[in-house]
Amino acid sequence: MSPDIQKFFESYRDAFNALDSEEIARLYFVPSGIVTNEGYSHWESYACIQDNMESLCNKYRENGYLEASFETLALMEQSAKFVVADLKWNIKLKEDATWSFRTAYNLIKTREAWQVLLVTAYEE
């Protein structure tokens, strides 16, 4: 994994560890989306992304979220501007509980930085 992609995912993890929905949302391209077992959700504005991340952070808080770590399972650099990464997330919860799941990310490099274009959440 290139240093800038590693740095991107470390900042993504750090934003979640702070449960900072605004910082998480800034890491997403507008528009972007997510695929889950329930289907596809399209976020056409920053406000949609931020609302989703606020809801997710609140859910994590309610469930005793402490911190996340990740390991890269696969990485496909498609060009200088596009990358697909498959990560395994390990979430520490209160009372020594853990939760693991996998997520694939389609990233796009903008003039400003790498951003998430599409998330595929699975094994949750």
Domains of the chain: 3-122 (3.10.450.50)
For residue range 20-57, what is the model confidence (pLDDT) as tens digits?
A: 999 999 999 999 999 999 999 999 999 999 999 999 99
What's the pLDDT at 96?
A: 86
pTM higher than the cut 0.85: yes
In contact, 33 and 41? CB cutoff 8 Å = yes
